[in-house]
Structure 1
Amino acid sequence: MNKLKRTVIRKRVLLPLFAIVLVLVLFNARWLSLIYPIEYRDEIRAHASNYEVDPYLIASIIRVETNYQPSMESKKGALGLMQLMPDTATWAMEKAHLKDVTLDSVKHDVEPNIELGSWYINNLMQQFGGNEVAVIAAYNAGPGKVKNWIKNGQWDGTLEDAKDIPYGETRHYVQRVLYYYKQYTKLYDRF
C-alpha cells in the first residue's frame, strides 16, 4: 500500500473518530458544568426549599446578577450576591420577619443574601401568579413597573412577547436569566 493511500485511509478513519471524541468531550455534562457552574448549592437548595422557589431560578438570577461574586455593590447601590436594592432589602426583612438579617449581612454574607433574595422571589411569584417571566422582569425593573406594563398593555407578561418589554435592560436581563435557567436544567439532573 503506498503512502498516499495510507494517508487517505487515516483521514477517513481518524478524522470522524476524532470528531466523535471531541463531541463527547464537549457535550459531556461534567465538562459543561465547568462552563455553567452553580456555586453555593447548599444555601440555594435550603432557601429555595424553605420559600418554595425553583433553585434553578435562584441560581440563574445569581449568575446574571454577580456571576457568584459575593459582596458586590452595583453603581445603583444593589447589594451582595443577588443584588438587592437597599430599600427592597429593608422592606423584605421587615415583611419576612428576618430579625437576624441586616443590610450589612445582606451586602457581605452569602447566606442572608440568598435567604432574603429567595423570600423576595417567592413574594414576586405570589404577586405575579407564578408567572416566572414576569417575576424575572420584576426582579430587575421592580414589580410596580412590570404591573404597569401589563396593565397598560405595553407587555403581556409572556416570553413570546418579551420583545415588548419597554426597558432594553430588563428585556436583555429576562433573556439572560432564562438562558442560564435552560442551561442549568439541562445540565443538572437535580439540584
Structure 2
Amino acid sequence: MKLTDDRSVTDPPGFPMSEFVSGLPHHQQSYVARELACHFADTYYQRLKADSSHLKIHSYRAALEWLAHQLNPAFQRSSVQIPAKKTNTMDFESYARLGLRKLGISCDHLTNELLAQAVAMTTRWREVVAFYTLRLALAPVVETLVLLDRMLYLNEQGLGGALVPIFDPNLSPRNFVLLSCKQF
C-alpha cells in the first residue's frame, strides 16, 4: 500500500514497475486502492457470519470522518486509525471524542446537534458493511495487478518469473512468492 508511484522518486517505482502496465490507460492505483488490497476478505466473511457487533465500527469511522469535516473543513482523510479493540462496547460520543483527539481536532465546537446527526448515521451500519463488502471484493484484483506487474517487469528485464502459491490461501491470501532465476 505504501508503494511509490513516481519515477522521479525511485526508478523503477514500486508500482507500476513494468513498461507494459505503465503504458496501460488508467493504470494508476490510489493509496486507498493499494491499502484495500492488503485486506483479507475471508476474515471479514467470518465476522459477517458471526453477526459480530464489531462490524458497527465501520459506521463509527464513517460518522467520525463526517464529524471531522464538519469541525475542520480542511480535514483530509487521515492514515491515523482509531483503535478498533474495545470500541464496539463504546458509545459513539466517547468514540468520537477519542477519535477527534487522535486526529488533532478540537471538540470545543462539537455541538449536541452535530453529535446527534453523527449518531443517527451510525444506525445505518448495515449499509456501510454492504459497501465495505463490495470494496473487499475488489481487493484481490488490485493485489493481482501488482503481482503481475512485478512478474512482467522481470520478463522485460530478460528474466523469467513465476508466481507460486507456497501455502494454504485460507491462512492468508498473500500466499504467493515471485520466483525468478538470474542467469550468469
Q: Using structure 2 for the length normalisation, give the TM-score.
A: 0.28
Compare relative contact order (CA 8 Å, sep 6+) and give the higher one, 1 or 2.
2
Could you state the TM-score of these two structures normalised by the residue count of structure 1? Answer: 0.27
Answer 1 or 2: which has greater helix percent.
Answer: 1
Q: Which has the larger radius of gyration?
A: 1
